[in-house]
């Protein structure tokens, strides 16, 4: 992905801007990294998991929290539900019917 961006200044600029927008949201840096770890694991992307493990450590995640996030688990039920939802969206490749079923299940569990 980064190699592609290196050859496409427009794509690189868009990614930088997207990262900036995401950092202004209400999710903490730790939770954003936990989500990235859950998604990277769901995608079986070793590079993503490695990179976000390092970044997660830099923003204060403990090794146990990093391992848990890869399995869509967190210290509280709200964050666990968000990680499970992120993995469901990834697994269903954006097909909302499958994600909706998973979200409704999570909503009842939270």
Predicted pLDDT at 30: 94
HSE toward the beta carbon, residue 60, CA cutoff 13 A: 5
pLDDT per position as a tens digit, 39-54: 999 999 998 899 999 9
Q: How confident is the model at residue 3 (pLDDT cuts 50, 70, 90)?
A: low
Q: Which of 41-45, 75-79, 92-96 has the lowest mean pLDDT?
A: 92-96
pTM for the predicted model, two decimal places: 0.73
Task: Describe the crossing of helices 77-91 and 96-109 by its angle, rounded to 10 degrees.
Answer: 170
């Amino acid at each position: 992905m980064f190699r592609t961006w290196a050859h496409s200044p427009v794509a690189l600029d868009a990614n930088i801007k997207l990262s900036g927008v995401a950092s202004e949201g209400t999710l903490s840096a730790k939770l954003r990294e936990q989500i990235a770890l859950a998604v990277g694991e769901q995608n079986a992307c070793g590079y993503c998991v490695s990179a976000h493990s390092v970044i997660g450590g830099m923003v204060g995640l403990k090794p146990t929290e990093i391992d848990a996030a890869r399995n869509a688990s967190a210290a509280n039920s709200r964050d666990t539900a968000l990680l499970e939802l992120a993995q469901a969206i990834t697994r269903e490749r954006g097909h909302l019917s499958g994600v909706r079923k998973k979200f409704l299940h999570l909503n009842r569990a939270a």
